[in-house]
Structure 1
Amino acid sequence: MITGKTLARLRRLHLYMGVTIAPLILFFALSGAWQTFGFHKDAKDGSYIAPTVLSVVSDVHEHQRAGSNAHRSTAFAVVALLAALGLVATTAMGILMAFRFAPKPLIVWTLLAVGILLPAFLLWIGS
């Protein structure tokens, strides 16, 4: 059982970690979103020319480098890995707190199931 003092520490840690990694998580979420639809690449038939900013930012996302001639930044890759681990940790903390603060655990379980099953279903019907 999580005590009040432990829960307060968990909430504070969740806050500090979340705020620290938020800019990088938003960067990867947004750049990943336009990459999902291919907005960062020119169309082969020339019907679409990707804005330079999308191509440059996507290069950072995909190859950890700024500019086509630049070398991959290992330091940036390590920071991205730490942000990913931080996202996993803060998500786990958020789920724990959801169970603690939700009026009924069934609500949390249901929403977790929807979050797992809906994307899986959409992938399945799209294949």
Structure 2
Amino acid sequence: MTSAALLKSVRLTHRYLGLFFSPTILFFAITGGLQMFSLHETTRGSSYVPPNILVHLAQLHKKGTLYLPPRKITAPNSAKPDGPKPEAAKLPQASPATPQPNSLPTKVFFAATALALAISTCTGIMMGWKYARRKLTVLLVLAAGVFIPVILLLV
């Protein structure tokens, strides 16, 4: 195989693999960026209730399924004895306060990375379309990249 033929086959393989996996890459970039700011979950003491779509998309991103396990309801433990408690258990131990690191810059950087990955994937799809001689093949591969994961999810 000549160098030009090898390069052409590598380019075609790259094009069609990229087109096939681009919907999945877009999905993971977008849902990962949203999860960076915990938009899919409620935090303790907060009145924020995430939209169901974000909860389900995060579940699909993390666990590969739309099935949400039922929440465990913890009942107050009424079986505790009301007897005397040791003095040591009443007083919290003094521990040196360690400052929490600021994670916002890291979150912003990773969210920017997710955005850049989404933009790069979209431009790759555009280039795959524009420079392809067989536009129908491009559409079929792209459609397969959308429908095959959906079918696998529903099976």
TM-score calculated relative to the size of structure 1:
0.50
Whichever of the two has the greater Rg, that structure is: 2
Greater helix share, structure number: 1
TM-score calculated relative to the size of structure 2:
0.41
